[in-house]
Amino acid sequence: MSTYYTTLLKTQHELPTLLVDLCTFVGTQSHGSLGWFDNIGAEDIPSAWDPSAAEKLNAHGFAFIQLPDGSFIALLNTGTTGAPYAVVLLGSEGEFRTIANSLEEFIILWSKGETGVHDLDDKKIDGRDNLVAWIKARRMKAPKAKDFDFGAWLDNASTAKVTDTIYAERTPTDAYEKLGPKMRTLVDMMGRRADDEALITWVTQTLGKKVPAHTSNDSVNVTAPKLGIELVFSHNVLNEKYPPIKKSARSFIPYLSHAWIREKIGEPIFGIDLKNSTEEDAIRSLGQPDGRRPQFATDTEPVIAYWHKVVDQGADIVLVIESDDGISIDVTVKTSSALEEYPEVSTHLFVAWACEKGLLDETRFVEHAALFQKVKTRQARGAELVATALTRGLWENHLINKPGLRRTAYQWFHNMKNLWITADLKKVFGARKGPYGHDEPAVDNDHWDNVDLASKAFHKVFDKWLD
């Protein structure tokens, strides 16, 4: 069986003895036994990752693992006197974060499958025991080190300036009172910012984990399998009560936005035992399902039974029970799904048409009621409403809640089920090369004459929901 490749290329940095020893050890292990990568060893960070940051990154560190998607794991001199090198992720989509505050901490997290990097943490990886034994033989311990703020470092900001904590008023419901103590505590933590002291204390002392200091354009999972909890931290929560909070030019302070509950939570939830319960058990405890949903976004047939229990009305915290090959339970901040995160002319045309035809939910535009009415009566354009009222994009719940409408709109915006806004509008306006080399509709604005031209295409998809 093949083993990992080890390549210690020349860099401008002296390689730590621990890294050299780690590379030597990994090079003896069966390929795939420690993660989904091929090679371990020092190499320069490609300038293509971020041309504006490459020189600084390579002056202070180097990559030592490249992942299958093109991401890199790098060792970085933080510039703090006496501090160990930090281990950071340079994601293939431009995301970045601190994985560990020292190489020792990274190796220990790796041995536990808790780096937060899927290609190192995948449950199918079966050789971590060898890494654990290697760590024990060296009596390795992680040195104490201050948390490294990679985002602030990239932006040359020694101290990140953030806004004060502003939370929606917590309003626990009767359903909350019926939960056990562990679940009530989890609900209390949901929706809090990652810099919230109560949340940090709970994650570190109760779960024995670390709260991610920031996110970039991704979310970060924190897993406590022995306690039956997996948390998701994200700054991009599509709910107006949870606006993105800038920490630096490149990074955000995330919220605890979602949690998956496993059977090791150790207490029943509304009388449901996650280990053995079936849909029939859930019905006995909760009554008939609140509804059924399709299994996948591309589906239309409702097959998955669900119950939604609002456990905090003020903070929009919901407990979701679903029956799909067993019972699953999540706790989540109530969110929408993005139809278009970065609206352009095609979206502007649709917004204008949908506003005029009554498909936009007027109650979601109360703060911009005057402009909404102007668009509805053709005295203003869709682009104006988008720029003023939809600064975070067009979401599913900006549409009225008629059965099937939002799902069809999602499929149409995301090229599913032979539905696609781009294809429909290219048929109307013709096609041209867009700024990223892809064909786009050859239309420059959302003037009402263009809305009228596009109207037939819109009617074809949405006519059944028009009054």
Average pLDDT over residues 124-139: 96
What is the three-class DSSP state of 234? strand
**pLDDT tens, position by position, 183-200:** 999 999 999 999 999 999
DSSP one-letter code for 231 = E
- DSSP for 54-110 reads HHHHHHHEEEEEE-TTS-EEEEE--S-TTPPPEEEEE-TTS-EEEEESSHHHHHHHH
pLDDT at 9 (0 to 100): 64
Pure H helices in 101-245: 103-112, 118-121, 128-138, 150-154, 174-177, 181-189, 197-201
Q: Is residue 393's pLDDT more than 70? A: yes
Question: For the CA atoms of 418, 424, 427, 431, what is the dihedral angle to 10 degrees?
Answer: -100
Average pLDDT over residues 76-92: 93
Q: Is residue 158's pLDDT more than 70? A: no
Average pLDDT over residues 412-420: 97
How many C-beta neighbours within 10 Å does residue 379 have? Answer: 11
Q: How confident is the model at residue 177 (pLDDT cuts 50, 70, 90)?
A: very high
Q: Which residue has the higher pLDDT, 191 or 298?
A: 191
**pLDDT tens, position by position, 210-268:** 999 889 888 999 999 999 999 999 999 999 999 999 888 888 999 999 999 999 999 99
Average pLDDT over residues 360-375: 98
Average pLDDT over residues 106-132: 95
Average pLDDT over residues 306-316: 98
- CA pair distance 101, 143, nearest whole angstrom: 9
Question: For the CA atoms of 292, 293, 294, 295, what is the dihedral angle to 10 degrees?
Answer: -90
Q: Is residue 160's pLDDT more than 70? A: no
b/e per residue 226-260 (b: at least 16 CB within 10 A): ebbbbbbbbbbbbbebbeebbbbebbbbbbbbbbb
Average pLDDT over residues 26-30: 96
- CA pair distance 210, 98, nearest whole angstrom: 11
DSSP one-letter code for 420 = -
Q: Is residue 159's pLDDT more than 50? A: no
Whether the model pTM is above 0.95: no
Which two structure tokens, joined as six digits, stand for 132?
């654990």
- CA pair distance 280, 294, nearest whole angstrom: 19
Q: Which residue has the higher pLDDT, 134 or 82?
A: 134
